[in-house]
């Protein structure tokens, strides 16, 4: 089972094609998908309700929900009273989803992709009962980082440096403690990226490291006080660490798995069942917001809006560079027009491939967050509502954006390991380091 620590940490004050990509720093015109000028739904197509409470964490990949609110996409589709509410941690997001809007919580959220699967399985709810969830869209691909303290600059850690990482872990052990790695939620994407990176480089995350949970906006403050050696989190917090000269980015998570899925837009399944027209309206708005977010003409405005205290409470200097593809690792390595930058719409970023949810279920089985007896396909088919995504895409004139299959096919990781969604058991069996219940 997982050995995630429960120790206390410093808490700081929380305050029209699929080929669109950001313009590179050197310029160059790229084709950008644009939202259709469809009229707001009315009459028989009008949403059952005009609002709902949605949660988000202060991370760059929450932008589609924020933009859908700020730029009027929710209102355009008959949902002017949508509330987009900041959550202080993924645990709070979980708790508020369990409460639901009727109980003073929320009915949907910007969320770590594995969380709806874990909620539906009843593995992370306070009640220990299943909370049926519906994943409606993926919000982004890539755009996370594996960062390390400046104390390990000499180790020159990268995505693939077994010797350097082994030395860092050994040096830490000589001080009487384990190499401390912070993640954002047990079984969430950042936990899985951290575990994959460590294990692929020969470090058993359960035996050789001490994995701890820290909310995303608090990562940098904890690094500053020496609370951790490495962390995995979304932007803009890796960039802020570099800007404050407290550490460096060993790797962008796109290096670990190119075009990997990251956050999702998910709702309580009971709300979706009760409000199918409102669900479609929300999805249409979010998809249009994702196209807006990826349009390079909107980059400056996107950064200005999300930098506000009610959203990220971060400077444009923290948010903009990596979103634009400018990558300064903080250790002398620099890249412009990075292929690993965050995508909101291009590369089928928005479509919730079922094969990706399969991988997350398998990895959560690998590390003991889900039992080895889990029916992978049943859980994925229960939660993943790619069917609703397709309906929304058609409604906004984006039929060409609908993939031919719910599976993206085989996926290859930086260490050469291949995940074949047609045979997930073979992938799991071949992994050398794991901790299954």
Q: What is the pLDDT of residues 177-217, one digit of tens each?
A: 999 999 999 999 999 999 999 999 999 999 999 999 999 99
Give the pLDDT of residue 40: 56
pLDDT beyond 50 at 9: no
Give the pLDDT of residue 45: 84
Among the residue ranges 27-36, 147-156, 176-185, 327-336, the one predicted with the least confidence is: 27-36
- Calpha distance 45→51 (Å, rounded): 15
pLDDT beyond 90 at 6: no
pLDDT beyond 80 at 18: no
Report helix, strand or coil for 372: coil
Give the pLDDT of residue 43: 74
List, for residues 93-152, the tens digit of each pLDDT value: 999 999 999 999 999 999 999 999 999 999 999 999 999 999 999 999 999 999 999 999
What are the φ and ψ backbone dihedral angles of 32, each rounded to 5 degrees? -125, 135
Mean pLDDT across 220-227: 94
Give the pLDDT of residue 23: 34
Confidence of residue 325 (pLDDT cuts 50, 70, 90): very high
pLDDT beyond 60 at 390: yes
Confidence of residue 44 (pLDDT cuts 50, 70, 90): confident
Confidence of residue 436 (pLDDT cuts 50, 70, 90): confident
Calculate the average pLDDT of the chain: 92
DSSP state of 117: H
pLDDT beyond 70 at 425: yes
- Calpha distance 339→210 (Å, rounded): 31
List, for residues 303-313, the tens digit of each pLDDT value: 999 999 999 99
Mean pLDDT across 348-362: 98
Cα 122 to Cα 369, 385, 399, 400: the distances in Å are 11, 19, 35, 36
Query: What Rg value do the Cα atoms of the chain yield, rounded?
Result: 20
pLDDT higher for 40 or 432?
432
pLDDT beyond 60 at 317: yes
Give the pLDDT of residue 354: 98
% of residues, the chain, pLDDT over 90: 89
Give the pLDDT of residue 30: 44
Q: How many residues does the chain have?
A: 437
pLDDT higher for 20 or 248?
248
Report helix, strand or coil for 224: helix
- Calpha distance 63→322 (Å, rounded): 14
Give the pLDDT of residue 53: 98
pLDDT higher for 37 or 309?
309
Question: Which 3-state string (H, E, C) describes 287-336?
Answer: HHHHHHHHCHHHHHHHHHHHHCCCCCCCCHHHHHHHHCCCEECCCCCEEC
Strands 53-56 and 83-86 come out as: parallel
Confidence of residue 237 (pLDDT cuts 50, 70, 90): very high
pLDDT beyond 50 at 20: no
Nearest to residue 147, comparing CAs of 286, 247, 51?
A: 247
Give the pLDDT of residue 229: 97
What are the φ and ψ backbone dihedral angles of 283, each rounded to 5 degrees? -65, -45
Burial 376-412 (b: 16+ CB within 10 A, else e): beebbebbbbbebbbbbbebbebeebeeeebebeebe
% of residues, the chain, pLDDT over 70: 90
């Amino acid at each position: 089972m997982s050995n995630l620590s429960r120790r206390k940490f410093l808490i700081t004050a929380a305050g029209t094609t699929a080929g669109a990509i950001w313009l590179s720093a050197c310029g160059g015109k790229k084709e950008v998908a644009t939202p259709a000028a469809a009229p707001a739904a009315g009459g028989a197509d009008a949403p059952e309700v005009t609002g709902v409470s949605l949660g988000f964490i202060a991370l760059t990949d929450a932008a589609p929900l924020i933009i859908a609110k700020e730029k009027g996409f929710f209102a355009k589709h008959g949902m002017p009273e949508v509330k987009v509410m900041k959550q202080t941690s993924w645990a709070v997001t979980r708790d508020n989803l369990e409460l639901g809007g009727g109980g003073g919580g929320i009915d949907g959220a910007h969320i770590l992709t594995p969380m709806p699967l874990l909620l539906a399985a009843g593995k992370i709810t306070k009640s220990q009962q299943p909370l049926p969830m519906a994943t409606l869209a993926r919000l982004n691909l890539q755009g996370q980082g594996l960062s390390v303290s400046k104390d390990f600059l000499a180790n020159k850690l990268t995505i693939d440096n077994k010797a350097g990482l082994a030395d860092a872990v050994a040096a830490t052990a000589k001080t009487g403690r384990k190499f401390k790695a912070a993640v954002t939620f047990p079984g969430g994407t950042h936990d899985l990226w951290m575990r994959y990176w460590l294990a692929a480089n020969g470090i058993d995350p359960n035996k050789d490291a001490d994995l701890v949970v820290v909310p995303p906006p608090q990562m940098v403050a904890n690094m500053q006080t020496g609370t951790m050696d490495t962390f995995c989190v979304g932007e803009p917090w890796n960039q802020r660490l570099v800007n404050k000269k407290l550490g460096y980015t060993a790797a962008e998570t796109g290096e670990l798995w190119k075009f990997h899925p990251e956050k999702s837009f998910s709702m309580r399944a009971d709300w979706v069942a009760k409000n199918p027209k409102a669900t479609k309206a929300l999805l249409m708005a979010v998809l249009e917001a994702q196209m807006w977010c990826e349009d390079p003409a909107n980059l400056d405005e996107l950064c200005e809006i999300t930098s506000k205290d009610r959203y990220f409470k971060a400077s444009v200097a923290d948010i903009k560079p990596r979103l634009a593809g400018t990558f300064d690792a903080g250790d002398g390595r620099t890249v412009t027009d990075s292929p690993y930058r965050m995508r909101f719409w291009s590369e089928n970023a928005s479509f919730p491939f079922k094969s990706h949810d399969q991988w997350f279920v398998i990895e959560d089985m690998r590390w003991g967050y889900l039992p080895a007896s889990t029916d992978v396909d049943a859980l994925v088919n229960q939660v993943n509502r790619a069917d609703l995504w397709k309906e929304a895409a058609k409604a906004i004139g984006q039929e060409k954006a609908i993939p031919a299959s719910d599976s993206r096919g085989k996926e290859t990781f930086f260490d050469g390991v291949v995940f074949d969604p047609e045979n997930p058991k073979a992938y799991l069996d071949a992994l050398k380091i794991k901790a299954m219940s």
